[in-house]
Structure 1
Amino acid sequence: MMFKGIHHVSAMTSKAAQNYDFYTRVLGMRLIKKTVNQDDTSVYHLFYGDEKGNPGTELTFFEIPNLAPNREGVSSISALSLRVPSDDSLQYWVERFDELQVSHGEIMERAGRKALEFRDFESQRFFLVSDEHNEGVKAGTPWKKGPIPLEHAIVGLGPVQLTVRKPQPTIRVLTEIMGFRASGQFSSHLENQPDILVFETGEGGSGAEVHVEERTDLPVQRLGRGGVHHVAFRVDDEEELYEWINKVNESRFQNSGFVDRFYFKSLYFREPNGILFELATDGPGFDTDEHIDHLGESLALPPFLEPQRAEIEARLKPLDTSLDQ
């Protein structure tokens, strides 16, 4: 068994409307599903992705109004990456970020690729990474109706960075249980800090990498707005997911067991440093209950929540997502 790459990442926001504006109008991603947190239906769960919401392109947010800011630290997913087609694309984004007053750094090299660090409106940390010399997991298809020229548009998720105080327990889970392989290391660009270690799965490349950063100088993360809740890895189908459930159980990790999210099936567990991992199937997909041309335009609820629609809608603050789809 081997994961096909990163499936999705889920983060925290306190303002769904501003989140929608930033990720669709500034970053040019498509809202592929407007739904609710299935574990707390009083709050939105927004999914962004490529043209079709393909696995490996999905960036999601739980909205919790009045949530305190994230305190960065260890035992965390400390940075996410978004893939763009070329090195030239990064210069396009520098100019766009300058124009729109988005906080960003300078173009740099990171894990053998050109990259550009930036922060969203809630100070969530991202890197745009160039696919120019990337090999491995195929990128997605950019959103044709978005505001970004297709030759520079975001085409999927790149490497996920984990920051931990003691890396070896995390590394053992990645390599001995989850089947990742060590594939390199690179400078952290911080003085007196060890190199960041690179692990990959499946076909490898930007869409299948986890970076492990060791930090002994930071407190434990306090998750808040601008922080990342979990990372999910791609499992081919439900049959394989059950094989992973058996393997995780045999490894004696407490876990969620099988969870039906309707758009995909999942398993959740925490690795030894407390970071939440999800294993998620590639299907059925986000066009299961909406036509591909109208993804994200209205509130979508899985069948097991549909009987509660009136009650759920009454608790949600209206969020108009129909204009740009």
Structure 2
Amino acid sequence: MELTLKGLHHVSAITAKAPENFKFYTEVLGLRLIKKTVNQDDISVYHLFYGDEKGNPGTELTFFEIPMAGHNQDGNNSISALSLRVPSDEALAYWDQRLTEHKVEHGTITELGGRQTLSFRDHEGQRFILVSDENDKGVAGGTPWAKSPVPAEYGIVGLGPAHLTVETAEDTAVVLEGLLGFRRKGTYPSTAAGQPDVIVFETGEGGSGTEVHLEERNNLPQEHLGRGGVHHVAFRVDNEEELKQWIERVRTVRLPNSGFVDRFYFRSLYFREPNGILFELATDGPGFATDEHIEHLGESLALPPFLESKRQQIEAHLKPLDTRP
């Protein structure tokens, strides 16, 4: 059986302040907090998950809280921008006005790679691109949360292309194409003068929810990851059996990797491509309603069973974060 990734699963970034992060992503961007838990590799800090009404794979934007993190130093060998899909060009006009009203730093509506887009930065400098689905064909987006402050017809419906900036594009391309099975879809001009064209890769059904945009830059320092930076990007695997096959494939090419990791809400594999960017392969299930009722996702601290015995210790070290409606 041919292994095929289904598209983007989630992206994980760094925040220094969970309360401000929660306020921005729910009140300004209108996303739903679908899970309030802890970083399983450092249980002293929060891990917040945002997404559509159910936290469907392909809609998940997550943040590790690292209170002492310095500002991200943008540069090479990084996930240099994240994209968020909106339903239409008209939605971009709505967001242009909304971001202005909320005093969010943003650009102007611009065509990028054949789509209408609008760039912005959050309160910690995190780089985003809103991408119109007006003419998009391919993997479907999610369903905006009914209780969002953003009208459903303009709401964010999922993750769009992940933008990677690297020193040597072909080193990353070998992994995307040769190992992970992405297809080259085309190119478009870099926004940086004198630099090579950005290469567009897609997988699965195609469309913006499956794309990686790869840019080679020879004039940037190495990124220093901090708040406002992206930790990793995860791609969708249909089920656990397929994940195990992916693990064998990655081992065969001798890339250092995590092996099978049980995150409870999904199962994962982690590895770094040659330019040092962290990739994750994650299963679509079991999902975020596994331990909470769908109507009350994110309202209380959720812990996977293997951390439940440490709840008292964990709660004693976390600063209270009220996420109730």
* TM-score, L = length of structure 1: 0.99
CA positional deviation for 1:190:
2.0
CA positional deviation for 1:66:
2.0
Structure 2 CA distance for aligned equivalents of residues 56 and 173 of structure 1: 21
1:113 and 2:77 aligned: no
Match of 2:85, SS? strand
1:247 and 2:249 aligned: yes
* Counterpart for residue 236 of structure 1: 238
Match of 1:105, SS? coil
* Counterpart for residue 218 of structure 1: 220
Equivalent position to 1:49, from 41, 48, 51: 51
> Which aligned pairs between 1:122-271 and structure 2 lie closer than 5 A?
122-271=124-273
CA deviation vs aligned residue, 1:288-308 (integer Å, no higher than 9, x gap): 000000000000000000000
Gaps of 5+ in 1: none
> Which aligned pairs between 1:59-138 and structure 2 lie closer than 5 A?
59-138=61-140
Structure 2 CA distance for aligned equivalents of residues 293 and 236 of structure 1: 25
Match of 1:230, SS? strand
Over the aligned positions, Cα root-mean-square deviation in angstroms equals 0.5
Structure 2 CA distance for aligned equivalents of residues 84 and 149 of structure 1: 11
CA positional deviation for 1:36:
0.1
CA positional deviation for 1:220:
0.5
Letter in structure 2 aligned against 1:134: D
CA positional deviation for 1:188:
1.7
Gaps of 5+ in 2: none
Structure 1 CA distance for aligned equivalents of residues 200 and 284 of structure 2: 24
Match of 2:249, SS? helix
Letter in structure 1 aligned against 2:247: I
CA positional deviation for 1:193:
1.6
CA deviation vs aligned residue, 1:36-61 (integer Å, no higher than 9, x gap): 00000000000000000000000000
Structure 1 CA distance for aligned equivalents of residues 98 and 303 of structure 2: 35
Equivalent position to 1:18, from 12, 20, 32: 20
CA positional deviation for 1:287:
0.1
Structure 1 CA distance for aligned equivalents of residues 27 and 56 of structure 2: 20
* Counterpart for residue 286 of structure 1: 288
Q: Which runs of 4+ in 1 moved over 4 A?
A: none
Letter in structure 1 aligned against 2:48: L
Letter in structure 2 aligned against 1:199: F
Letter in structure 2 aligned against 1:38: Q
Structure 2 CA distance for aligned equivalents of residues 60 and 97 of structure 1: 21
Match of 2:107, SS? strand
Letter in structure 2 aligned against 1:27: L
CA deviation vs aligned residue, 1:174-200 (integer Å, no higher than 9, x gap): 000100010011122221122111000
Match of 1:225, SS? coil
Match of 2:138, SS? coil
CA deviation vs aligned residue, 1:73-129 (integer Å, no higher than 9, x gap): 111000000000000000100100111100000000111110000000000100000
Structure 1 CA distance for aligned equivalents of residues 296 and 135 of structure 2: 34
Match of 1:305, SS? helix
Structure 1 CA distance for aligned equivalents of residues 21 and 257 of structure 2: 30
* Counterpart for residue 306 of structure 2: 304
Match of 2:234, SS? strand
Match of 1:266, SS? strand
Aligned identity (percent) is: 68
